[in-house]
């Protein structure tokens, strides 16, 4: 039963996805320099809101976590705290080459090089930096993925939490987020469905 729920999409899932893709609230975590591309994306020139994407100020009400630049070790800890506060389904979008492979900080002693080792990244926007056109195109492909039911990387955080947590601990030594991630996975029927 549970297996079927995961692999086959019911009509209800399709309805949900269709509704979900039209209303994406975005928490933009503006580290680094990528934040300057967001005001034109949000405001009248490119007008992100025509796709139903809207900036949101709290993680608990946001669907997208947009990380707009390099992440130092100190910043990564805050991003993990924020990510775990968000309610599933949630989509991490890495913005710019810094989140992909470290970018121009490839040899820095205090920035992480690959965001997907610490958080499940749904999509990367390549570029240094991506222009608003690229952001809009990227969000459109995210909308397509959600409509098709393929945007499931957030489930990976619950299924492979050991992998992410091990990598997080490798950076921080010991990280305490005051958030019961395995219990979350059960609540969203990700972990139980696997068994």
Partner 1 sequence: MSELIRTPSAGRPLAALGAARGADAIMAAIVAETGSAEFHAKGARRVEGQVKADALHSFAAAMKSRVGFEHLSAISCVDWIAQGEFELVYHFWSYRDNCLVSAHVRIDRATASMATITDLWMPASFFERDIHEFFGVVFQGNTDLERYILTDWKGPPPMRKDFVSRDFAHEHFQYKDYEPTWDEMIEGGYRGSRDKTGGAE
> Contact positions toward partner 1, by CB under 8 A?
73-74, 77, 100-102, 106-114, 117, 166-167, 169-173
Q: Dihedrals φ, ψ of 114, to 5°?
A: -140, 110
Residues 6+ apart with CB under 8 A from 34: 68, 69, 95, 96, 98, 129, 130
> Nearer to partner 1 by C-beta: 131 or 165?
165
* Beta bridge pairs of residue 28: 66
Smallest gap from Cβ 167 to partner 1, in A, equals: 6
Smallest gap from Cβ 26 to partner 1, in A, equals: 25
Q: Dihedrals φ, ψ of 178, to 5°?
A: 55, 35
Cβ atoms 189, 2 nearer than 8 A: yes
Smallest gap from Cβ 75 to partner 1, in A, equals: 11
**DSSP conformational letter for 106:** T
Smallest gap from Cβ 175 to partner 1, in A, equals: 9
> Nearer to partner 1 by C-beta: 68 or 99?
99
> Nearer to partner 1 by C-beta: 51 or 163?
163
> Nearer to partner 1 by C-beta: 47 or 116?
116
Q: Is the peptide bond before 129 cis (omega within 30 degrees of 0)?
A: yes
């Amino acid at each position: 039963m549970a297996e079927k729920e995961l692999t086959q999409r019911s009509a209800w899932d399709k309805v949900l996805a269709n509704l979900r893709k039209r209303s994406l609230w975005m928490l933009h975590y503006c580290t680094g320099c990528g934040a300057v591309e967001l005001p034109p994306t949000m405001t009248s020139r490119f007008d992100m809101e025509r796709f139903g994407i809207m900036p949101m100020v709290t993680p608990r009400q946001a669907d997208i976590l947009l990380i707009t630049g390099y992440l130092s070790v100190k910043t990564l800890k805050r991003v993990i705290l924020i990510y775990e506060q968000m309610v599933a389904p949630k989509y991490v979008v890495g913005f710019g080459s810094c989140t992909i492979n470290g970018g121009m900080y490839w040899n820095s002693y205090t920035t992480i090089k690959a965001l997907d080792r610490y958080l499940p990244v749904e999509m990367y926007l390549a570029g240094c930096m991506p222009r608003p056109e690229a952001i809009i195109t990227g969000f459109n492909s995210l909308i397509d993925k959600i409509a098709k039911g393929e945007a499931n990387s957030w489930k990976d955080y619950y299924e492979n939490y050991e992998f992410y947590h091990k990598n997080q601990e490798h950076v921080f030594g010991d990280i305490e987020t005051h958030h019961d991630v395995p219990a979350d996975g059960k609540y969203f029927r990700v972990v139980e469905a696997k068994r």
